[in-house]
Structures are given as structure tokens and as C-alpha cells.
Structure 1
Amino acid sequence: MTETNGPRLVASLWSLVVVSLAFLAGRLICKARYSNGFAWDDHILIFSWICFLVYAALATVSTTYGYGHHLLDISPADIPMAIKLLYIGQLIAGLGAATSKASFALTLLRIAQKPWQIFLLWFFGLSSIFAHALSIIFTFVACTPVRKVWDPTVPGHCWGFKALLNYGIFMSSYSAAIDFVLSTFPTLIIWKLQMNKKEKVGVVVCMSLGFFAGIVTVGRACFIPRITTKDFTFKSVILSICVAGEIAVTIIATSMPFYRRAVQETLTKSKGYHLDEYNMDNLSKHKSLATANQISKNGFATAASMPDSESERQILGGMNDGNDVRTGELSVSYRNSGDEEGQAEKEGRADPISG
């Protein structure tokens, strides 16, 4: 039996596809339940996962043509199709990785307050997509005719292999840099807010998990120089897994912050609390501040709503330039744990991940 990395590739790809889908689905469920619906960052992240799915499918089909085997063990007639499917899949995967970073940048734009923060988020989000667009262009203009990219036996000429290799290293390095920069933004923005310190730490940790995507991308950049054209179909499998890992980790990292409210609700119930929330948006067309007396003698308004024009740009559910945190709706919380006082308890924690 010939040595092959094909089964390892297929198992890795589809495991990551399923896991990332589970986290994405959880994000969407939480957004549907706890916020005012989906936004552009959600739609873009869904597109990113679809790109990941297409990549996994193409790479899987590529293994049926011999990808994952040593080059000498593959039928010469199958090599062009194996490489073609892989190249197209990796280009689509790159688009998925770029758009997943853009999605996170859009999410961070909701809590960005300063002009330089907004500028950098737009810059990194768009430049990630632009850099990948160049990668697509370079792939299809590197050889004349284009078929020679995946079929070396076709007459024609190509750019030097080293030029494409260097751009691949640059792309991976720049992608990792974007991951690291975006991971630091939550700390810069959220740490200055008037929140409980434990809440700040929890929010920052959840929103900084993209750091791990950067680590995966650094690993990919370090591995690229080890690839040779002599046994490309066997040695590049690890690189293909790293590409999948980058997308999956980014999707997971950008989805987890939206789980906070679900986790808080679960913990509240597990401690014997029964949390009843009532949306009070319809009580006032102007969304004015409601007092405890206006709601119930035992109820407490957790926060005041903000104007629509302000709340749309805040992932925190509302935040002014003075760094006050307010939720985007009025809610009443009752403590029904059977304690002797039976007193209403105020849920005063700000929720930065409500979307």
C-alpha cells in the first residue's frame, strides 16, 4: 500500500467544518434570541463558512485523484485534475479566511469610539480582502496559458516558483498580523468602560480568541518554504490543513463572544434564579429612561435604551463617549429562588456582546 496523507486531510477538513458550523450556528441562535437580528458581520461570516465548505469539498475530491499521495505514486493523467481542484479550493478558502477577518472587523466597529480605531478596522478588513484578490490574480496570470498552472506538461511559460512562494509567505504573515492586531482591539476599547472588572476580563478574553488564528497562520507561513515542487502532492497536505484551521479558528473565535448572554442565563438558572425579561421598547416611542416605579414596585430597570442611530453601531447595546455602558433594552429581573425576602434583584451587568 502506498503512503498517503489523503485520509488525514479529509478527516481534518470535515472535522473543522462541522465544529466551525456548530459555533457559527450557536452565534446565530444567540443573535436571534438576544439581539435585534442579524447584521452585515453575520452575513459575511456565513459567506466565509460557505467558502470553507466549498474548499473542503474540492480538496476531498482532489484526494480521489491522488492528492495526498507521493507524486510518483499518482497516475500522470490524474495529476493535473488533483492540482487544479486543490488550487481552486485554496483560492476559495483564502477568500473565506479574508472575509472572516473582515466580519470580525465589522463587529469591532460597533464598539470603536475613536477615529483612528475606526480607520484601522476598515483598513485591515478591506486590505485583507484586497491582498487575497491579488493572490487570485497572480494565480491565474502566473502562467501562460492558465492550464500550465496545474499541468506542467502544457507548453508555455510561468513566473518563477520563488516569486509565488514569497507572495504566499507575505500573505500568511500579513494575515497573521491582522489576526493579532484585531485581537488587541477589545482590550483597548473595552478596558476603559465602566464595567465590573470580572466582566471586562470575560469580554476581552472572548473577543481576543482570534489570537489563536494568528498562531495557526504563523505556522502556515513557516511551513510554506518547506514545500517543493518535487513532491508537492504529499508535502503540501499539512499546509492545506493549516488553511482550513485558519478559517475554522477565526469563525470559532468570532462566534464565541456572542455566547455570553446565553451562558449568563444558564448560570443564573443553575443557581436557582428565574430570569424573566420583558422588552420595554414599545412602551415609549422615544425610548426614554424608565424608573422602577414605572415598571413595578418590585421590578428594576436594568438600563436605558439609546436612540436607534446610536444603538446600531454599538455591539455593547449602547455606549456613549463618556464610556457609560447601557443595554439596548429595558428588562425586569425577578429572583424566585425561594429566599425568605423574595425580593427583586437588579441585573445590573452590562452586556457587551448582545450584538
Structure 2
Amino acid sequence: MLAPICTLLVISTTLMITRLYSRLRPVVNLGWDDAIGVVAAIASILQIAFLFAAIPHGLGRHIFYVAPEDGLLTAKLIFISQFPWGWAVSCAKISIALLLLRFKRTKSWRIFLYLMIALQVVLATIANIFQLAQCKPIAAQWDPTIPGAQCWDPVFAQKGVYVQGSLSVFSDVVLSIIPITFLKELQRPMREKIVLGFLMGLGVFTASAVIVKMTVVGNFNDTTDPMWDVIELATWSMVEAQMGIIAMCVPTLKAPMESILRRVGLLTKRTNTHSGYINAGSGRERSQAYHMNNVSAFNNSSRTEAQKTNFSPAASESSILPQDNKVQGGY
């Protein structure tokens, strides 16, 4: 568990820091998608911290070798870790939806993405409520020896996980496919479109992690060795959160990703400056971006310059997503 999760954590954290850096230089271009992305990253780190804290107390060991007091503490830490996990997964999807709102402002587009955002908030909230309501008192979830404790039938709880997982898979697939549809606007070779489509569709891998996790849940209810068997479920939950953050960050990192892909030969050197990419640091995008600060006066002047040169020389090329020239406002 440690090696793959630590690797994904390093990758996702590096991408998140790079994303924020690209939005701060050479001009500040932070939006709500970045803020929610930070929340997702922090929540995922909290989940990992709680689970890793449980390892010295028996997580990943056979129950026979775990002392009763360590078993209770491990179960409690696993229970607590599920709260930040739900928000890490949902906030990553919300960040993607807010990013997509930067590029189109049609009514149907806004309604659809706002519904996706609302769905993620509902899923995370219900997941937390669901977790708290499974046992009375709540402590019975990690200490089943409490006298008079009442808990839901495990089969009912399992069905709830399936419903939540199915909606999560749906959201991952939809939010992965939408950016790929923008590739038709790119004036680039087909090979490059395929590579960029793969990068922007990383959310599909998040959906795959959810599907695997749901199959694991189906077998977990019958376990007689929970400290050992839960490790697979916990690992896939962490993979889901980390892959969501990676999928959230990659589409915003145009310049770094292009540099890496050119070095490995997957992209050719661009000679046509009007490639159809959106420059997320330019005035064309900032004029309708979800900003946390007021830069409207700067936008008006920089948009005029951008219309003359297609790209601002000092702008930060931070988005892979292409420009939709057919939408009012230059999107």
C-alpha cells in the first residue's frame, strides 16, 4: 500500500503546486476552480494521514496478531478517514466543472455543469451522513462490544456504497469526455490530439478505481479478518482520490505538459502560434473566468492586445483546453 500511494501522492502534490504556480506567474489568474482544487488536495492528504497512522496499530495485519486496544484504534482511524475522502473525491470533480465553466458560458452549458457541481456536493454530504447514521451510538462502528448498540444491516450499507459509486463513475466519465470534445477545435496532428485526449481523459482511470473498489466492497462484508482485508479497500479509495486530483490538474498545465511530451517525442514542435489552445493566463480568458479578485480593468486592455497577437507574450500558458471561438465573449 505504501509505495503506490506515496508515489501517487508525490505526483498529485507536484501537479497541484505546479498548477498554482502557473496561475500566479507572470500574472495572478487564480479562480474558484483552483481554490476548490486545494481543498481536494488537503482532504486527500488528511485521508492518507489517518490511514497511515493506523498502520502501526494493526492496519494491514492479521487480526490474530492485533491487540484489542490497537484494533479499536485502527477501526476508529479508518472510520475518521472516510470523511475527508468523500470531500477529496467530490471537490476534485467540482474543480473540473468550474474549470470548464471558464471556457463556455452558454445557458445550457452552465446549467449542466452547475447540476454536476450540485451532484458532487450532495454525494459528499450524504456519504458523511450515511457514515454517521450506520450505528447508534456512533462509537459502535469501531467498537461493536458496546452494550445496546444498533447498526444497519451490512447488506443495506453495501447497497448505499454501490449507489454512490455508480454516480461517481458517471460523473468521472462525463467530466472526462467533455474536455475531449474540445479537441476538434485544435489545429494539430491527429497523434497529438490522441495524446492530449488521453491526458484530459485521466478521469476515466478514476472511474476504474471506483469500479474495482465496489467489487472489493462486495467481498468485504463476509470477512473474518477485517484488519487484513480492509487494506485493499483503503488502497483503492486512496487511489480514487489521488487520480481525481491528477485528472483535475493535468488539463491546466499546458506549457509543462507540452515540454515533457516533446522531450519523449509524442508532440512535434509547434510552428503555428494559433493552435486553438486557450491561454488561461491571457485577458481573453480572464474576462469571464471565475476570479476571486477584481481584474476587470486589466482584462479590457489585455483582451485588446490578445486579439492582435492571438497570444500575450507575457501570459502563462496553463491550459490544454482549446478555445471555442463561437461563443459570445471570445470563448
TM over 0.5: yes
Q: Which runs of 5+ in 2 are unaligned?
A: 274-281, 285-296, 313-318
Partner of 1:53: 45
| Aligned pair partner of 2:210 in 213, 217, 235 | 217
Query: What TM-score do you get using the length of structure 2 for normalisation?
Result: 0.77
Kindly report which structure 2 residues correspond to 1:69-108, keeping only aligned pairs within 5 A, or say none: 69-108=61-100
Shift of 1:114: 3.6
Whether 1:123 and 2:130 are equivalent positions in the alignment is no
Which deviates further from its counterpart, 174-183 or 248-257? 248-257
Shift of 1:169: 1.8
Kindly report which structure 2 residues correspond to 1:18-33, keeping only aligned pairs within 5 A, or say none: 18-33=10-25
Whether 1:234 and 2:228 are equivalent positions in the alignment is yes
| Aligned pair partner of 2:309 in 302, 307, 312 | 302
Q: What is the CA–CA distance in structure 1 between the aligned matches of 2:8 and 2:311, rounded to whole Å?
A: 41
Shift of 1:36: 3.8
| Aligned pair partner of 1:196 in 187, 190, 196 | 187
Q: What is the CA–CA distance in structure 2 between the aligned matches of 1:181 and 1:284, rounded to whole Å?
A: 31
8 Å contact 1:110–1:315 — kept in the other structure? no
Partner of 2:130: 138
| Residues 1:32 and 1:12: Cα distance change in structure 2 (over 3 Å) | same
Give me the CA root mean square deviation: 3.4
| Aligned pair partner of 2:29 in 33, 37, 45 | 37
Q: What is the CA–CA distance in structure 2 between the aligned matches of 1:50 and 1:284, rounded to whole Å?
A: 31
Partner of 1:168: 161
Which deviations, in whole Å up to 9, do the C-alpha atoms of 1:179-219 show, x marking residues without a partner?
0011111133x2453x4143755654432221111111111
Partner of 1:321: 326
Runs of 4+ in 1 over 4 A off after TM superposition: 199-203, 263-268, 270-273, 279-291, 314-320, 322-326
| Residues 1:264 and 1:302: Cα distance change in structure 2 (over 3 Å) | farther
Q: What is the CA–CA distance in structure 2 between the aligned matches of 1:209 and 1:100, rounded to whole Å?
A: 12
Which deviations, in whole Å up to 9, do the C-alpha atoms of 1:261-287 show, x marking residues without a partner?
34557869x9799x9xxx999999655
Kindly report which structure 2 residues correspond to 1:330-349, keeping only aligned pairs within 5 A, or say none: none
SS at match of 1:138: helix
8 Å contact 2:51–2:81 — kept in the other structure? yes
Partner of 2:237: 243
8 Å contact 2:209–2:239 — kept in the other structure? yes
8 Å contact 1:182–1:210 — kept in the other structure? yes
8 Å contact 1:65–1:78 — kept in the other structure? yes
SS at match of 1:21: helix
| Residue identity matched to 2:187 | N
| Residues 1:301 and 1:57: Cα distance change in structure 2 (over 3 Å) | same
Partner of 1:336: none
Q: Percent identity?
A: 24
| Residue identity matched to 2:215 | C
Query: What TM-score do you get using the length of structure 1 for normalisation?
Result: 0.72
Whether 1:185 and 2:181 are equivalent positions in the alignment is no
Q: What is the CA–CA distance in structure 1 between the aligned matches of 2:218 and 2:302, rounded to whole Å?
A: 58
Shift of 1:61: 1.2
| Residues 1:140 and 1:19: Cα distance change in structure 2 (over 3 Å) | same
8 Å contact 2:61–2:227 — kept in the other structure? yes
Q: What is the CA–CA distance in structure 1 between the aligned matches of 2:143 and 2:125, rounded to whole Å?
A: 23
Whether 1:252 and 2:246 are equivalent positions in the alignment is yes
8 Å contact 2:92–2:245 — kept in the other structure? yes
| Residues 1:35 and 1:179: Cα distance change in structure 2 (over 3 Å) | farther
Shift of 1:65: 1.4
| Aligned pair partner of 1:157 in 137, 147, 150 | 150
8 Å contact 1:316–1:325 — kept in the other structure? no
| Residues 1:245 and 1:167: Cα distance change in structure 2 (over 3 Å) | same
